[in-house]
A and B are shown apart, each in its own frame.
Chain A
Amino acid sequence: MTDAGRHPRIKLLTMSEVVDVKGYVGNFEVKILKRARYVEEKECTACGECVKACPVVRPDEFNMGLSSRKAIYSPFPQAVPSAYVINVNECLGHNPAVCSKCIDACEKKCINFHMSDEELTESVGSIIVATGLEPYDPTELDEYGYTRFENVVTSLEFERIVNAGGPAKGELIRPKDRKQPKSVGFIQCVGSRSLRKGSSYCSNICCMNTIKSTLAIKEHYPDIDIKVFYIDIRAFGKGFEDLYTRSRRLGVQYLRGLPGTVEELPDGSLHVAVENTASGKLEFHDLDMLVLALGVRPAKSTQKLQEMIGLQLTSDGFFLEAHPKLLPVDAATRGIFYAGCAESPKDIKESVTQASAAAGRAIRLMHTGTITTEPITSEIITEHCKACGKCAEVCPYNAITVDVKKKIPAVVNSAACAGCGTCAAECVFGAIVMNHYTDEQITGQVDVMLEEKPEEKILTFACNWCSYAGADYAGVSRLQYSPNTRLIRTMCSGRVDEKFIWQAFEKKAPVILVSGCHIGDCHYINANHWTVKRVEKVHKKMEKLGIRKERLQLEWISAAEGIRFAEVMKKMETLRRSVSMEEIEKTVDILKSKNKKD
């Protein structure tokens, strides 16, 4: 930690949050909001005189509220930077009539109430997302009585109780009477591996964290009885099984089964009812203290950041990597990498490994000092452009400039263009070529697909980042669905031009599915909003023409939703079966006569 604080190449911004990310791989522009500390970071020597003077007492969040701190405080003794900080919402202010005691106490005069929040802009070539975790909040698991009984604590609170720098100075005491417990119980999988409450996934670290805690207790207090209630003990890492064996040899009892209820006894101890699934018997255990082994949840900032940068999440809410085996630290967006629990729950060793891997990947990207751009971008055919300005309006990246008043044709900034193709789909004059996904290239695929037995086929447009990846995930999971599906990949659902749909119906497609990223998750910021608008427009036209609008479906399927993809395909197959040959022929006639009129 201290190395990171004083490394000449690391600019450390604490109390700061990323509020906006613009640009693209190699050249990102990042806006950072740095909140005021009200103490000069470089001047403060952490002497602590201000703390003595401060009259405001508040719960200390670092110690999970088990001890108190002042409104001016050091987060914890080893904090980096070591400078103190004022929580301005708690502070009484610098009006001498009210307080300002810290200002008087500070000899170096480094307390400055005139500091204000700053907005900084940084240029970077790559980004590593290491936003960490949020411990599961066990208040909803009422059967364990966390909110009702003082001697039921979370694993994180337990860490603080036994920590030498914690409120009990390293003594193991229970909160209610501050006495040393004679017995301690641990309940595993709190908020993990449950379909009912918390999350369905395994949080990876809690088994070993509990085993570690049992060893720490036994080292100092060999006479304390320890019971661990568990579903499975997952000690799969290097050296982990040894620790588990050591814990059992020291007399820690491992009981298979999670408690059904916890009740408080008059002396504050806890009466635990549990079905021991190894013996099949209902057992009761009286324990002086209970520790809930909390599961790991994605950090609260995850979704905000995901929307800001256009990243993908798994169904668990953690960041989704570009490939689970081959690109485990890369995001699907070039130049963004993941490290630590942001990607999935993991222990310190794994976090460190992944962080080094992410750094290595970032270096691999940056070391030449140049970046090759994706050539899959759009181009304007100037002769066809009427300077209507629609393309510039829909472009999520402001990569198109057009002067509507002076009728100067559009120009694409190819470095800023990310290649979603929405502009090409929206241009009614056919003046935009979306390279690698041109109209002819896509309609060619549609035509070939519908050459033989079109009435049996399901035409699906899938965006590269979410739906196509979701279809791949269905494959990896070996989910079976109807084999008459034919996917056409586009980079974004925003590329799906109205004319592709009409052409497919004219070539006797019974049903068409347009699929993309969920709203808010679009890889191209918000290009899929235009998909919605377009599909709504086509639906209206279908109704007007007398074509059943259900035959064109729009679905959002994320890269992690393999199951959903297979389900949507089943739904599409049911829909397809409802479309008769007569209906298809009638549609063809309607469209042909419409084309003649046009």
Chain B
Amino acid sequence: MKANILSEQSSAQKVPARIGVYICQCGLNIAQTVDCKQVAQTAAELDNVIVSKDLGYACSEPGQHEIKKDIIEHGLDRIVLGSCSPRLHEPTFRKMMHDAGLNPFLLEMANLREQCSWVHMKEPDAATNKAIDLVKMSVSRVSGLFPLYEETLPLTKRTLVIGGGIAGIQAALDLADNGYDVVLVEKKPSIGGTMAQLDKTFPTMDCSI
């Protein structure tokens, strides 16, 4: 599968991209600082952008539904989301891409919340300008992205638990009782950890061992 990517890259460049841009208001989290409408309108003028609009909550069911509908109606093949940090919702939107029949890696997120509206709350105009720049950068990036494919490999159904205190013991027992083999490593001669040294424990006021 991997070997195909390079050849695919050369063929992919021939067809112009069909990009959808969605600016999430995140309630007021983004919208109270960034003018989401203006950002969406500016993005609409960019090359290969077919659809550009702002949404109340892009991650919500109706939000995702609207994007999926657009993907089918307008034949979109790449999506830009101006929303929260990709560290939060990239998995959510990659799944949405997959459900809509697109390669999940043809998605790019512009971080308009953690790295824009929340950190420039007193400068709405500058924040809007920054948001426009970030979306432009994302549109550029998404245009140059290539579909990627995950490989499936065998996995060892076994867990290493480091530390034999109450947390390690509990985790090991839960895994073992579920049928998974566990290696429980403890540096002291006995498991039990700090808990074993306690006399009584709250809230039950019984002994620790």
* Chain A residues packing against B (C-beta within 8 Å): 1, 3-5, 7-18, 26-28, 30, 32, 37, 62, 64, 75-76, 78-81, 85, 122-133, 135, 156, 159-160, 162-164, 166, 208-209, 211-212, 215-216, 237-240, 243, 299, 301, 305, 323, 326, 339-342, 347-349, 351-352, 354-356, 358-360, 362-363, 365-366, 368-377, 379, 381, 414-415, 433, 435-436, 438, 440-441, 444-445, 447-449, 451, 457, 464, 468-469, 471-472, 474-476, 478-481, 483-489, 566
Contact = CB atoms under 8 A, between A and B. Distances in A.
Shortest 6 CB-CB contacts between residues of A and residues of B? A340-B167, A475-B114, A359-B174, A79-B190, A355-B170, A130-B168
Among B114, B167, B177, B182, chain A packs the most CB atoms within 10 A around the CB of B167
Interface in B178-209: 178-203, 205, 208-209
A163 B190 contact: no
B3 to A, nearest CB: 9
Given A130-B171, A340-B166, A472-B111, 13 more contacts: A4-B172, A11-B183, A12-B191, A78-B192, A78-B209, A127-B162, A128-B171, A340-B165, A373-B152, A373-B153, A379-B2, A469-B87, A479-B119
Interface residues of B, number: 94
A479 B126 CA distance: 16
B159 A127 contact: yes
B144 interface: yes
A30 B169 CA distance: 19
Contacts of A448: 133, 136-137, 139-140
B169 to A, nearest CB: 5
Contacts of B17: none
Interface in B140-181: 140-141, 143-146, 148-181
Nearest to A62: B197
Which of A5, A7, A362, A471 has most B Cβ within 10 Å? Answer: A362
B18 interface: no
B115 A487 contact: yes
B60 interface: no
A433 B9 CA distance: 11
A340 B168 contact: yes
B140 A129 contact: no
B203 A305 contact: no
Given A12-B186, A79-B192, A445-B141, A360 B150 contact: no
Contacts of B168: 128, 130, 132, 339-340, 355
Contact of A16 (B119, B144, B167, B187): B187
Contact of B144 (A4, A26, A441): A441
A30 B150 contact: no
B178 to A, nearest CB: 6
A352 B55 CA distance: 41
A12 B192 CA distance: 12
Contacts, number: 361
B140 A4 contact: no
Nearest to B203: A239
A14 B151 contact: no
A572 B145 CA distance: 30
Given A358-B171, A435-B148, A10 B190 contact: no
Contact of B120 (A240, A349, A414, A480): A480
Contacts of B196: 1, 62, 76, 78
A342 B164 CA distance: 12
Interface in B70-93: 85-88
Nearest to A61: B188
A471 B114 contact: yes
Contact of A339 (B170, B188, B201): B170
B137 A125 contact: no
6 contacts: A131-B163, A156-B197, A212-B202, A341-B167, A355-B166, A363-B180
A62 B208 CA distance: 14
Contacts of A365: 155
A28 B160 contact: yes
Contacts of A354: 167
A558 to B, nearest CB: 14
B15 interface: no
Nearest to B13: A440
Contact of A17 (B134, B149, B155, B187): B187
Contacts of B136: 448-449, 451
Contacts of B202: 208-209, 211-212, 240, 243, 347
A184 to B, nearest CB: 14
Query: Which of B113, B134, B137, B196 counts the most chain A CB atoms within 10 A?
Result: B137
A220 to B, nearest CB: 11
A356 B170 contact: yes
A1 B209 contact: yes
B57 interface: no
Most chain A C-beta atoms within 10 Å of own C-beta, residue among B111, B129, B170: B170
Contacts of A374: 150
A366 B157 CA distance: 6
Contacts of A444: 140-141, 143-144
A221 to B, nearest CB: 14
A31 to B, nearest CB: 11
A366 B155 contact: yes
B14 interface: no
A165 to B, nearest CB: 9
A71 to B, nearest CB: 13
B161 A130 contact: yes
Given A15-B188, A80-B192, A448-B136, A360 B174 contact: yes
- Please indicate which of the listed interface residues B116, B143, B173 has the most CB atoms of chain A within 10 Å of its own CB: B173
B85 to A, nearest CB: 5
A16 B185 contact: yes
A132 B119 contact: no
Given A130-B161, A208-B202, A1 B170 contact: no
Nearest to A488: B137
B23 interface: no
Given A340-B165, A435-B5, A79 B189 contact: yes
A419 to B, nearest CB: 11
B121 interface: yes
A132 B160 contact: no
B130 A483 contact: yes
